[in-house]
Amino acid sequence: MVKFNLRKDVAFAIVFFVGVLTAVEYFVALPDLRRIVADLQSWGTIIAAFSLGVGTINLIVIHGRRVSSRTQGYYNNFVLLLALTVTILIGLWGTNMHPAYQFIYFNALVPSDTAVWSLLAFYIASAAIRTMKARTKEGVILLITGILVLIKNTPAMGVIWGGFTIIGEWLLSVPNVAATRGIMIASAIGIIALGLRVLLRQERTSLGG
């Protein structure tokens, strides 16, 4: 006799019900169905928001233990916990429109975020230099293609010879788009297969084993 597992069986039943209903709603124009799916999606967002609490607890436990055991660099963990506490308290006390909250957001978070974003330019340069080596046939093709697209994006080269722009644009809009669409179509088919495996309960790991 098949044993009923409350936690897993109920979870899979919900996944199946919501999954099928959402897929049907995408194709069928029934206002009632649309309203039900919109409600289900809102519930999903609310549940996801609750999990932010789980993430915050995880942060507090990990960094709190490091501070209490004085591991190397524990002061960094302390700064994180302090910043987390202060931001949460200000947010709870005066909402995220409070001047103090806005000050933290625009003077600490935004500049730090932008600084890490800007690092990407250097990482792209170092990765490009490593890639642009003509060791194999494919490497030579990549090198020539890369240089042509680079030239296409340099305004001065377009003035020297208009053909650079035409070649660069052709490379981007024909072979590049063809390969990209191939990957996208195959991925879409893969998503259908994965969805089916999840809905038919063949693929179980993603819901906790």
Closest CB to other proteins among 6 and 28? 28
Q: Judged by CB under 8 A, does residue 131 bind other proteins?
A: yes
C-beta of residue 146 within 8 angstroms of C-beta of residue 154: no
* Runs of H (alpha helix) within 161-206: 163-173, 175-199
Kindly state the number of chain residues that form the binding site for other proteins, as judged by CB under 8 A.
60
Residue 63's alpha-carbon distances to 55, 58, 68, 76, in angstroms, are 12, 9, 9, 9
Query: x-or-dash pattern for other proteins, window 23-62, by CB under 8 A?
Result: x--xxxxx----------x--xx-xxx-xx-xxx-xx-xx
Q: How far is CA 52 from the centre of its chain?
A: 16
Residues 83 to 112 in contact with other proteins, rule: CB under 8 A: 109, 112
Closest CB to other proteins among 59 and 157? 59
Residues 171 to 190 in contact with other proteins, rule: CB under 8 A: 180, 183-187, 189-190
Q: How far is CA 89 from the centre of its chain?
A: 28
At closest approach, how far in Å is the CB of 23 from other proteins?
A: 8
Nearest alpha-carbon partner for 131 in 149, 146, 150: 146
Helix (H) or strand (E) holding 37: helix 31-68
Q: 119: how many CB neighbours lie within 10 A of its CB?
A: 9
Binding site for other proteins (CB under 8 A): 23, 26-30, 41, 44-45, 47-49, 51-52, 54-56, 58-59, 61-62, 65, 109, 112-113, 116-117, 119-120, 123-124, 126-128, 130-131, 180, 183-187, 189-198, 200, 202-203, 205-209
